[in-house]
Amino acid sequence: MQLFPGLVRTQEGMLRGYHNHAAPAIGERLEHPLDNIRMSARLVHTMFLSKSVFYCRAIIENVNSGNLLVAFQSLRALVEVLAAVRYTIEQMKPVINACANRGTTTGDEARQLNYQFDILLHGGRFDWEAFFLEGAWAVLEKKKKERPKHERQQFAARAQYLKVDKCIKDWAKVEPIAEFVYDYLCDLVHPNKGSNLVLIVENSKGLRFDIEGQAKFGLHIFDKIFPIAASLCMREVPRLIIPLAMLGADEEQFSEGGEA
């Protein structure tokens, strides 16, 4: 835990520096596909750094305040976001390597890369457009309503998203401990025995569920998993930053080949 605050400060510094030099602003899709790849890489870079910093801060603050439930939730969320970004980059690697070896990028390859970024940045099952334009009840009514085939196809195309379990299993192929870490943390977040154990405190009247008193058993559980989970995350962060920095660089990393 002693090294963790230093890691957070490093990530904060990277985020500030990246904003100062790369200007990754959220906006309309650009006309040139390679410009879209560059901007999306910058957005993913700053998105995952921002989430990582917030989750890491939450872990430190809630362990110090004794709120281990939220600390475990934040640690699991940190693992999830890294798994999702990692999976996206792994999906893109064959295309990136082919472009790098050949020195050109075809229009189809540019579209494949943009598609992977779009899933990570915009994917999800929730209909945000309907919610903001029509409200919660309209979303519920649409969910109940039997849609014609063309509407179902449009929704399916729009609702592409990453499944965390799939991302974790892919990570576990090279880091087997990733699956154990995620299963462990899920048990400490879901309403079951793991999360119940975290709430046990001991005082003069014995063991009880309470928000006052030292949760010695919960801290013991945290001490068991935190070094493993933190080490896993710290190993992965540089592996994500390098390809994202390359794809988001101002210099042309790819010479466009074919019509994009």
Of 93, 72, 106, 46, give the one whose Cα is nearest residue 196: 72
Of 171, 181, 169, 182, give the one whose Cα is nearest residue 227: 181
Neighbours of 54 (CB within 10 A): 15
Using DSSP, state whether 206 is helix, strand or coil: strand
In the chain, which ranges are continuous DSSP H helix?
A: 4-22, 33-65, 68-102, 107-122, 128-134, 136-144, 149-158, 164-172, 177-187, 193-198, 216-247
Least trusted range by pLDDT, from 47-56, 90-99, 138-147, 219-228: 138-147
Q: For all residues of the chain together, what is the average pLDDT?
A: 83
Using DSSP, state whether 34 is helix, strand or coil: helix
> Tell me: the pLDDT tens digits for 216-246?
888 999 999 999 999 999 899 889 988 888 8
Strand 206-209 versus strand 200-203 pairing type: antiparallel
Considering the entire predicted model, what is its pTM? 0.83
- The full set of domain ranges for the chain reads 4-124+163-253, 125-159
Where does the pLDDT of residue 257 fall: very low under 50, low under 70, confident under 90, or very high at 90 and above? Answer: very low
Of 153, 149, 155, give the one whose Cα is nearest residue 130: 155
Name the residue with tokens 């709120």: 67
CA–CA distance, 159 with 86 (Å, rounded to integer): 20
Residue at 258: amino acid letter: G
Of 71, 24, 73, give the one whose Cα is nearest residue 49: 24
Least trusted range by pLDDT, from 64-73, 115-124, 223-232: 115-124
Q: What is the pLDDT of residue 170?
A: 96
C-alpha 208, offset from chain centre = 35
Of 238, 206, 192, 185, give the one whose Cα is nearest residue 71: 185
C-alpha 72, offset from chain centre = 16
> Tell me: the pLDDT tens digits for 148-179?
766 655 555 555 678 999 999 999 999 999 99
